[in-house]
Amino acid sequence: MSDDKNQFGWNFDNTYARLSDVFFERVNPTPARSPVMVMFNEELARSLGLDAAELAKQGQNYFAGNTLFKGSEPIAMAYAGHQFGRINMLGDGRANLLGEHVTPKGERFDIQLKGAGRTRYSRRGDGLAALGPMLREYIISEAMFALGIPTTRSLAVVTTGEQVIRETALPGAVLTRVASSHLRVGTFEFAAGFEQGKNLRELADYTLRRHYPDLVSHPEPYVALLKAVIERQASLIVKWMQVGFVHGVMNTDNMTISGETIDYGPCAFMDRFSLSTVFSSIDVQGRYSYGQQPSIGQWNLARFAETLLPLFSANQEEAIAKAEEALDTYAEHLQRHWATGMRGKLGMVSAGEDDMPLFNRLLELMERNQADYTNTFRALSNGVMLDEALFKDADFLEWHKAWQARKPDLKLMRSRNPAVIPRNHMVEKALSAAVERGDYSVVQRLLEVVQNPFVEPGDGDEFKKAADDEGYQTFCGT
Ligand code: AMP
Ligand code: MG
């Protein structure tokens, strides 16, 4: 099946590695001692035009980085980033971009190994990843994809046969991540800050060609680029919010230019609705809490806009005015996406005058009654009342009447409100079965369920049960 020229169906074309060499370091993955493939996404492999059967059999040495796929030219990418508000030089400290695969349909994807050894950008890190967090990224990114949310995806996880030292010794692993690119706000921060921004235009032109080809011939392509990224991020953040997703580490190096969700370190889905939900152990001030996500999005986009100023105009005042005008569109996009999304969630087939107050009132009552976000919307979609505080609240019953008067389309609602999300307690259970006992059946079952989120899970309520989120903690850079 896989002849030498077109091995496994890969078709690498590595345009990023043709950019000026300030943008990357050429570095090969560090080989692993004894790779075993524990996860392989056959469906994704097929959709990329790859030979899924052969990769399932022979992939482990490649997905560990021990052998390179034909046509791959591994690099680690340079980037900077505002981490909790402070700018740092970062870069791929534990990731290797194998190259860009072009599918038979002509779509281009970055193929990246995460956890395959040190690079120039590793600083004090070991360049490695532990199995638990790589499985977690696999599960949650695939769940996000199934929920219709733009995201990087996960093609494979291999264990390395080596230990990674964190607080304790943990089994090491490498995740293969697939992304429409790994260009980030932080890549632009790097380009703008490096040697007086002499490579900034090169990066911006590359980005336009790669992600926004229609804007290449725009009279103001760089302003148009900023506006396009603002639109995609507004849309993305609303999508997160509407499934109760808390990203958890919205540093500028974790905000893509493509509009895909990236970096599944400390993220989690909330159970009980609360604007102040935070899971990340280091986010003590709630900078990246559920309800802060729209304004942090704006803050990050302002950092992106700043990097582009020299390309807007030689006159700084004029450049700033253009940036501000673009940034002003963010709130409108956010509101529009929010309203459209919420109408879908509440089954409203047309827009009404008092939609906004109606949405807001429901959320207020949910917060007051500590209602489970997912289960509440799903119950409304199924036309059932739950035996829970919210559904006994007189104010809710009044709200319910007003909502019913809008004649909601329940079928539409069931296609917008998931029955299942990757609940924290289910994710933890699956990870410990895999990591502690080498039993992947729990991960597989969870994946099956979260990959079909709009279908009621067959075997009962375990997947729908809200565990107490109180005290659930997640961790960065694990
Ligand atoms: P993250 O928290 O995943 O967004 O990572 C922030 C920065 O830390 C990036 O530059 C990563 O490459 C780097 N990093 C995270 N973990 C490691 C590690 N184990 N070894 C080297 N660099 C790392
Ligand atoms: Mg990151």
* pLDDT score recorded for residue 469: 67
Q: How many CB atoms lie within 10 A of CB 107?
A: 12
Catalytic residues: 253
What average pLDDT does the structure give for the chain? 96
With the most atoms of ligand 1 within 8 angstroms of its CB, the residue from 79, 94, 97 to mutate is: 94
Residues with CB under 5 A from ligand 2 (ion): 254, 263
Residue nearest to atom 22 of ligand 1 (CA): 93
123 C-alpha to ligand 2 centroid (Å): 14
Q: What is the pLDDT of residues 333-350, one digit of tens each?
A: 999 999 999 999 999 999
pLDDT in tens, 172-200: 999 999 999 999 999 999 999 999 999 99
Counting residues of the chain whose pLDDT is more than 70, the rounded percentage is 97
> Which residues does residue 261 pair with via DSSP β-bridges, in sequence order?
151
Atom in ligand 1 nearest the alpha carbon of residue 253: 4
Is it the case that residue 467 has pLDDT exceeding 90?
no
| pLDDT tens digits, one per residue of 19-69 | 999 999 999 999 999 999 999 999 999 999 999 999 999 999 999 999 999
Is the model's pTM score more than 0.85? yes
| CB distance 133 to ligand 1 below 6 Å | no
Ligand 2 centroid vs 59 CA: distance in angstroms?
25
Region 397-408 average pLDDT: 97
Find all residues with CB under 8 Å of 286, minimum gap 6, and list them: 276, 278, 292
Q: Is 182 in the pocket of ligand 1 (CB under 6 A)?
A: no
Where are any strands of DSSP class E within 167-241? 169-179
Centre of ligand 2 to C-alpha 225, Å, is 22
Residue 474: its H or E element: none
Average the pLDDT over 280-298 and give the result: 97
Q: DSSP letters along 25-50, please?
A: EE-PPPPPSS-EEEEE-HHHHHHTT-
| Atom 5 of ligand 1: nearest residue by CA position | 477
What is d(CA 328, CA 312) in angstroms, rounded to the nearest whole number?
Answer: 16
Give the model confidence (pLDDT) of 443-461 as tens digits.
Answer: 999 999 999 999 998 776 7
On the 0-12 / 13-18 / 19+ scale of CB atoms within 10 A, 252 is buried
Residue 110: CB within 6 Å of ligand 1?
no
Protein residue with least CA distance to atom 14, ligand 1: 93
Structure confidence at residue 1 as a pLDDT band (50, 70, 90): very low
Q: What is the mean pLDDT of residues 287-292?
A: 97
Joined tokens for residue 161 = 């046969």
| pLDDT single digits (tens) 7-19 | 999 999 999 999 9
Provide φ and ψ at 85, rounded to 5°. 90, -5
pLDDT in tens, 79-135: 999 999 999 999 999 999 999 999 999 999 999 999 999 999 999 999 999 999 999
Give pLDDT tens digits for 297-343: 999 999 999 999 999 999 999 999 999 999 999 999 999 999 999 99
Query: What is the whole-number distance in angstroms between the Cα of residue 216 and the centre of ligand 1?
Result: 33
Q: Is the CB of 92 under 6 A from ligand 1?
A: yes
Give start and end residues of each alpha helix (H) in 243-385.
Answer: 293-312, 316-345, 355-368, 373-382
